Amino acid sequence: MNHKRYIYAIGLIIGISLLTLFFHPLLSPPKGSWFNTASSEPPQEQLKEQESQNIEPNPIKPTSVKLSAFPAEGIPVLMYHSISTIPGNNLGVPVEQFAEEMKWLKSQEYTTLSLEDFYQALVNNKPVPEKPILITFDDGYSDNYQSAWPILHENGFSATFFIITNSVGPDMMTWEQLTELTNQGNSIASHTQTHPDLSIISSQQLEKELVLSKKDLENHLGGNVEALCFPSSRYNTKTLEMMPRLGYKLGFTTNPGRVHLGDNPLTLKRIRIPGGMSLTSFQQQFK
Ligand SMILES: [Zn+2]
């Protein structure tokens, strides 16, 4: 009897050992096997996406830019409208003035950010070039393409253009021009469909302005449109509540000041550059 028990015991040990050997690979399956795809692949894909965004060559960005933390003094976001001489209206900045300002920014070694880089810096604390700046244009004037873009390009800069989608056409920038600006590394975002006062229109109208302008830009230009510039800086809590649900992550006002880390990304300040501003006054914005 004892002998038989001994044989059973040995048989049991051998059996367990064989089972363990057989199932061992399942206990720590190799990466990428069917066993762990569900848990590990999405983060890997996200990482890959982030990596490819980071190393994606920007035709405009200089190759040897030193990256640093979000500047304590804030990031200046410049606001322009038309780059032309409009008698009696300082929303128009004469071409010569604009050229002088861009030349000075270049001499001071400022680096323009794309909207995406700006968002990543502000919200995810991603590093930025040492002297970062965002240059924005409201309304989509033709002269932004004809006059401002060549000057920006010449200085190695890119910009963000806020477009009123129902106004795209021969009187303002065309879809072809906006496509070219996009292809050259500029950012295009929404300035609504019809430029209404967002603080007084109905919820239904508000949603339409936000949804359809975004769709129109995305359909024509590709990519995701996630920034909104409030027409005449008019918005209310309803606007701010609706934005995230409709896919907007950034909102730009005309409230004066720089953007600091921790600022509400939906109510960002900008620095208005009026026509007739002296170069000295312009330079003072950066002190
Ligand atoms: Zn506007």
Please tell me the predicted confidence (pLDDT) of residue 65.
72
Whether 54 is in a domain gets the answer no
Please tell me the predicted confidence (pLDDT) of residue 262.
96
Give the containing element (helix H, strand E) for 19.
Answer: helix 2-27
Whether 170 is in a domain gets the answer yes
Distance between Cα 1 and ligand 1 center (Å): 97
Distance between Cα 33 and ligand 1 center (Å): 53
Distance between Cα 195 and ligand 1 center (Å): 6
Residue-wise DSSP of 120-166? HHHHH---EESSEEEEEEEETBHHIIIIIHHHHHHTT---EEEE-GG
Whether 14 is in a domain gets the answer no
Please tell me the predicted confidence (pLDDT) of residue 85.
95
Distance between Cα 22 and ligand 1 center (Å): 69
Distance between Cα 161 and ligand 1 center (Å): 11
Three-state SS annotation for 52-75: HHHHCCCCCCCCCCCEECCCCCCE
Please tell me the predicted confidence (pLDDT) of residue 167.
98
Distance between Cα 229 and ligand 1 center (Å): 8
Distance between Cα 217 and ligand 1 center (Å): 16
Domain ranges, residue 231: 69-284
Distance between Cα 105 and ligand 1 center (Å): 24
By residue count, the chain amounts to 287
Distance between Cα 139 and ligand 1 center (Å): 5
Please tell me the predicted confidence (pLDDT) of residue 62.
53
Cα 151 from Cα 106, distance rounded (Å): 11
Q: CA-CA distances (angstroms) from residue 14 to 10, 11, 25, 163, 228?
A: 6, 5, 18, 75, 69
Distance between Cα 232 and ligand 1 center (Å): 6
Whether 62 is in a domain gets the answer no
Distance between Cα 230 and ligand 1 center (Å): 7
Q: Is 111 exposed, middle or buried (0-12, 13-18, 19+ CB in 10 A)?
A: buried
Where residue 81 sits, what CATH number does that domain have?
3.20.20.370
Whether 12 is in a domain gets the answer no
Please tell me the predicted confidence (pLDDT) of residue 43.
39
Distance between Cα 192 and ligand 1 center (Å): 9
Output DSSP code: residue 34. Answer: G
pLDDT average per 10 residues of sequence, the chain (287 residues): 54 47 41 34 39 45 76 97 94 97 98 98 96 98 98 98 97 98 98 98 98 98 98 98 98 98 98 98 96
Residue-wise DSSP of 76-113? -EEEE-B-S--TT-TTB--HHHHHHHHHHHHHTT-EEP
**Amino acid, single-letter form, for residue 14:** I
Cα 167 from Cα 192, distance rounded (Å): 10
Distance between Cα 233 and ligand 1 center (Å): 8
Q: Is 205 exposed, middle or buried (0-12, 13-18, 19+ CB in 10 A)?
A: middle
- Total domains in the fold of the chain: 1
Whether 52 is in a domain gets the answer no
Whether 256 is in a domain gets the answer yes
Own/partner contacts of 274-282, CB < 8 Å, gap of 24 or more, are 274/90, 274/91, 274/93, 275/85, 275/86, 275/89, 275/90, 275/91, 275/92, 275/93, 275/94, 275/97, 276/90, 276/97, 277/93, 277/97, 279/100, 279/101, 279/104, 282/101, 282/104
Distance between Cα 194 and ligand 1 center (Å): 10
Whether 10 is in a domain gets the answer no
Distance between Cα 210 and ligand 1 center (Å): 14
Please tell me the predicted confidence (pLDDT) of residue 9.
52
